[in-house]
Amino acid sequence: MRAIRRAVRDEESVTRRFWKALRRVAANTPFAEDLVAVYFCAIDPATPRRVKLTLLGALGYFILPTDAVADFLPLLGFTDDMAVLAAAIAMAAGAITDDHRRRAREIISQ
């Protein structure tokens, strides 16, 4: 938990590390579009602070090099990341807009 707090303390660091981590795993990540939509929601100035912190925590968990289940394990590697992301999306569902999802689709389709 302490590592996640450190990881999300600086939004610029999360941004830089998020795109690096996404590029590394995007082809093997079935939830990449949701992940990018969460990112866009987290950096949107209109998103309430409580929601931003929840989403940045989920993104922080995704970018951490160590987590509950190692990401390189076939089939199991991203299950913990998906669970954390799903929980964050459920908590922030009303804040993730169609525009966030549209921008995510644009990024993923490139």
Cα separation, 22 vs 31, whole angstroms = 11
Range of the domain at 25: 2-109
What does the alpha-carbon distance between residue 82 and residue 79 come to, in Å, rounded to a whole number? 5
The type of residue at 21 is A
Q: What is the pLDDT of residues 71-93, one digit of tens each?
A: 555 555 667 777 888 898 898 88
Total tally of structural domains belonging to the chain: 1
Q: Is the pLDDT of residue 30 over 80?
A: no
**Helical H segments across the chain, by residue range:** 2-8, 11-25, 32-43, 49-63, 79-92, 98-109
* pLDDT for 97 beyond 90: yes
Q: Does the structure show a pLDDT above 90 at 12? A: no
Higher pLDDT, 104 or 7: 104
Q: How far apart are CA 78 and CA 46, in angstroms?
A: 30
